[in-house]
Chain A
């Protein structure tokens, strides 16, 4: 069973966000990680390979720095990696990203495509589902449990207030929600092996794509930072008085109760 895992390199969750002089997100000095939801996708792919055989190929779109994320995935146990990187792809929207990734994935052999349900940087949770549409595949979002039987996948997915159980024939696209599994850490042996694994970098021309056909559908107009909260007020007194006073403040001042 061959599995493609689509991943993204993102800022660390502890990163502070600042804007540069031109009003863009400042990437300088920020620690980069694999998008945490994509780690669940990688782990699931590796577990399926361990069970059924086959290969896991990790695919990403990004700058050359994203090689580090792909190497980490290889160290976890993925077999091959493809980085789509092209100067023309700076600041792409979700439509463009999905079009490009779909092209890169369509030349691979796969029974299943897995991705995180959301990337914690742009938070849009669009690309994996758009990718499914472009590849002409059914998709199941926010998987909490995935069982494969022949060419049939049984998926439990999170919905608001509960879960759904779906059956879908492969190939299909599945997005991973926290709870699907516990991602492994790369072992020292895994890190050593990863250095020798294939990591291909492809540009738009390698994929037979033309930047002119990939203009984004959604245009970024401006970034801004939230107004800092005015916190810090403490309700004084021992527990009994403090609880009384807090309840009063919430009712009379904040008017939320």
Chain B
């Protein structure tokens, strides 16, 4: 019989990604509800030391797949290892973060296993009939679909920031299992030559708690400095609308919207953004929305919890001063 809820643990140089801890925390609740064991699976190299931290966040068992081929993520090596482990242990469910790695790995793994995958889920519930039922946005959040399956295991990638991270309990213990890693050479055909991590102290858009975003009203790339200053005072990421990206003011990776990133921060501050449907789709699930726009009729005000009608070039620096006073 299929056993266990598995959480795929993403780490970079021994630092566990926040979304993995979010999944462990929520997975713990599901495990308590269903009586299934919660298993953390962590591929990498030199990562055995992570087991205690994973136990503290709720894992009953930690499977460590340690191999030089797993030092950096590659689609093939990770698929090869997870496919073998899943076939041996037959878990009920395998949950991954909807990150660059999760988005690349999960479909490959799902197809090799011949199973279904719920992508970018923002809801997950125990359901007596189908074990887990996932809710996920479609049309970038303009609608939602609920999906479930009887096929085991069920795979899902869960959007970062969906579930809170629980307080770790350092007294918790987990069984630690070292996996036998045998990677099929056919899975090593794409060769990673170089990883370049941008030297930014700002958080990733999709994981950021606060996002400050600028649109057409920014008038040019040289003006994003005022948003960056604001962002750095409160530890925010800096986003952009499609208009700003298409004008070449910001790189595409900073675009928020249906043809960019879909984000759900606690606070989204939209500056000089009119609020096109495709932009609202990408940020409409933010907990609080602030809009600063000189056009009182701008659509963004219809969704904003707090709006300021005014010149952003005047308001944003003032707001930066206010935030500075607060965070001291």
Contact of B116 among A172, A179, A216, A224 (CB under 8 A): A216
Near A by CB (< 8 A), chain B positions 119-140 give: 119-120, 133, 136-140
Question: Within 8 Å CB of B296, what residues of A?
Answer: 234
Interface residues of chain A: helix, strand, loop or mixed (majority): mixed
Interface presence of A62 (CB below 8 A): no
Question: Within 8 Å CB of B1, what residues of A?
Answer: none
| Contacting pair A221 B306 (CB below 8 A) | no
Residue of B nearest to A251 (CB): B326
With A13-B259, A242-B315, A257-B234 known to touch, is A167 a contact of B140 (CB < 8 Å)? no
Interface residues of chain B: helix, strand, loop or mixed (majority): mixed
Near A by CB (< 8 A), chain B positions 188-230 give: 189-198, 200, 204, 206-207, 210
Question: Within 8 Å CB of B120, what residues of A?
Answer: 123-125
| Contacting pair A36 B189 (CB below 8 A) | no
Near B by CB (< 8 A), chain A positions 1-39 give: 11, 13-17, 19, 25, 36-37
Interface presence of A51 (CB below 8 A): no
| Contacting pair A221 B133 (CB below 8 A) | yes
With A126-B110, A239-B315 known to touch, is A232 a contact of B302 (CB < 8 Å)? yes
Size of interface on B: residues with Cβ below 8 Å to A: 97
Residue of B nearest to A153 (CB): B190
Question: Within 8 Å CB of B257, what residues of A?
Answer: 13
Q: How far is the CA of A129 from the CA of B76 in the complex (A)?
A: 11
Interface presence of A217 (CB below 8 A): yes
Q: How far is the CA of A222 from the CA of B101 in the complex (A)?
A: 28
Q: How far is the CA of A36 from the CA of B259 in the complex (A)?
A: 7
Interface presence of A65 (CB below 8 A): no
Interface presence of A93 (CB below 8 A): yes
Interface presence of B169 (CB below 8 A): no
| Contacting pair B146 A222 (CB below 8 A) | yes
Q: How far is the CA of A168 from the CA of B192 in the complex (A)?
A: 9
With A120-B259, A138-B76, A226-B144 known to touch, is A234 a contact of B309 (CB < 8 Å)? yes
Interface presence of A47 (CB below 8 A): no
Question: Within 8 Å CB of B318, what residues of A?
Answer: 239-240, 243-244
Interface presence of B274 (CB below 8 A): no
Contact of A94 among B107, B253, B306 (CB under 8 A): B107
Interface presence of A160 (CB below 8 A): yes
19 contacts between A and B (CB under 8 A): A94-B110, A95-B110, A95-B115, A124-B136, A130-B107, A132-B108, A167-B191, A177-B252, A178-B252, A220-B145, A221-B133, A224-B143, A225-B144, A231-B301, A235-B308, A239-B318, A243-B321, A246-B319, A257-B267
